[in-house]
Amino acid sequence: MSERSRGFEDASRFTKRVFDDIGSGEIPRTLRRDLKETYEFYLAEDERRRLATMGRFSRSLYSTWYLVRGLFMKLTALRQALVVASVALVWIGMPDNSMQVMGGFIFLLFVLGLELKDKLLAKDELEAGRAVQLALMPATTPQLAGWEIWLYSVPANDVGGDLIDHMTVSADDVTLTLGDVAGKGLPAALMAARLQATVRALVPLTENPAHMARELNAIVCRDGLPSKFASMVHLELGTTSPVVRLVNAGHQPPMHIHSDGSHTLQKGGPAIGLTPLADYSVTELTMDMDDLLVVYSDGVTEARNELGRFYTDERFEKLVRYTHGLHSDALGQRILGSVDDFVQTARKSDDLSLIVIRRTT
């Protein structure tokens, strides 16, 4: 095939993809989402409340001013000076001096190039952080006689603050951990990695999950940031017993699904790192054959659609209530499918993690 033919074929594919995107309605949806996110990023909460009380004309004027001011104030001092110089050159050069106008636009393009460079560098760093975070996550699902286990975790952004991990304590015992650090992004991801390392160091040293949680809390309160804390559920399973031993530190109570329906377990102690005086206790749950236990982060129940509405605890409880006997992976996929159908094209608002356990004997 000649170079000209390949060029025509590439152009044809590109044109078809563009028109397919336009026909699918994806571009208008993406534009609305981007405008909404820009509005929320650059405008403070009190400014948004003030705009809500205005008429349409006043709101359009003031929102434009707030957006321009917000964007300008996020630039460095040098870039602010370049923007001011570019606007001045364009203003002075119009309509007669085209060279000054062109110089003003060149200044603006230079500022945009600097901002794009910063964004690409930050993106590269986040992708490297994501690779490290994925490497720290378990590559396989634990296999334990008498149990069926399914694990899932996906961050809202490049990196996230959810923690999923498992450890094989012995040939007959496995521990599972699901944690959720307050906040999102790189700071939460760093704390999640530290929590994972600390849990892995503490588990072999104690046979009581409550003792482990107390030690973990003491370490985080001593060495962690004052404003950072994490909720967590830590579980222990064994081949010789149908009992799940777990400790809950400020997390959503897991859901036990049995032959009569389902019920939510009791709430646990405070989140890890919230107070050095926290105390924890062990809950022991006996699982019959085909019973399921679902541990989940708030990325499930607090998932939001394009209208800003939450998935809700009630929707989740209704979904899983009569699923006794399903395989753990089938229930996990059902939950993910339901959340995806609810969220549709809205951007993920929080990290989402799941542990589903089924008793098989």
pLDDT, tens digit, 9 for 90 and up, residues 33-88: 677 777 777 778 888 888 888 888 888 888 888 888 888 888 888 888 888 888 88
Instruction: Determine if the peptide bond prior to 253 is cis (ω within 30°).
Output: no
Q: Is the pLDDT of residue 199 over 80?
A: yes
| 260 vs 152: CA distance, rounded Å | 26
User: Which residues are CB-neighbours of 112 under 8 A, at least 6 positions away?
Assistant: none
Do residues 257 and 294 touch, judged by C-beta distance below 8 A?
yes
Q: What is the pLDDT of residues 88-101, one digit of tens each?
A: 888 887 777 777 77
Do residues 298 and 251 touch, judged by C-beta distance below 8 A?
no
Q: Is the pLDDT of residue 263 over 90?
A: yes
| 106 vs 90: CA distance, rounded Å | 10
Find where tokens 């006043």 sit.
58
Q: CB atoms < 10 A from the CB of 164, how many? A: 20
Task: Please choose, from the candidates 208, 217, 212, 184, the residue with its C-alpha nearest in 3D space to the C-alpha of residue 353.
Answer: 184
Query: Which structure tokens are listed for 230?
Result: 């994490």
Centroid of chain to Cα 13: 34
Quick one: pLDDT band at residue 109, thresholds 50, 70, 90?
A: confident
Q: What are phi and psi of 89, to 5 degrees?
A: -65, -45
| 198 vs 246: CA distance, rounded Å | 18
Tell me, what's the pLDDT at 129? 61
Tell me, what's the pLDDT at 21? 55
Do residues 151 and 166 touch, judged by C-beta distance below 8 A?
yes
Tell me, what's the pLDDT at 66? 84
Tell me, what's the pLDDT at 22? 55
Query: Which structure tokens are listed for 197?
Result: 């390392």
Considering only 31-35, 70-74, 297-301, 345-349, which range has the smallest mean pLDDT? 31-35
| 260 vs 272: CA distance, rounded Å | 34
Number of H helices, E strands in the chain: 11, 10
Do residues 290 and 359 touch, judged by C-beta distance below 8 A?
yes
Tell me, what's the pLDDT at 203? 94
Q: How many residues does the chain have?
A: 361
Task: Please choose, from the candidates 137, 131, 130, the residue with its C-alpha nearest in 3D space to the C-alpha of residue 164.
Answer: 137
Task: Please choose, from the candidates 264, 332, 342, the residue with its C-alpha nearest in 3D space to the C-alpha of residue 310.
Answer: 342
Mean pLDDT along residues 202-221: 93
| 154 vs 160: CA distance, rounded Å | 8
| 101 vs 89: CA distance, rounded Å | 6
| Residue type, position 29, single letter | R
Do residues 295 and 315 touch, judged by C-beta distance below 8 A?
no
Per CATH, the architecture of 142-359 is what? 4-Layer Sandwich (3.60)
Task: Please choose, from the candidates 45, 51, 42, 104, the residue with its C-alpha nearest in 3D space to the C-alpha of residue 73.
Answer: 42
pTM more than 0.85: no
Name the E strands within the chain.
147-154, 162-170, 173-181, 230-238, 241-249, 255-258, 261-264, 283-286, 292-296, 352-359
Q: Higher model confidence: residue 342 or residue 308? A: 342
CA-CA-CA-CA torsion for 206, 209, 215, 217, nearest 10 degrees?
A: 160
Q: What are phi and psi of 4, to 5 degrees?
A: -65, -40
Q: Where are the domains of the chain?
A: 3-131, 142-359
Angle between helices 3-24 and 26-42 (to 10 degrees): 70
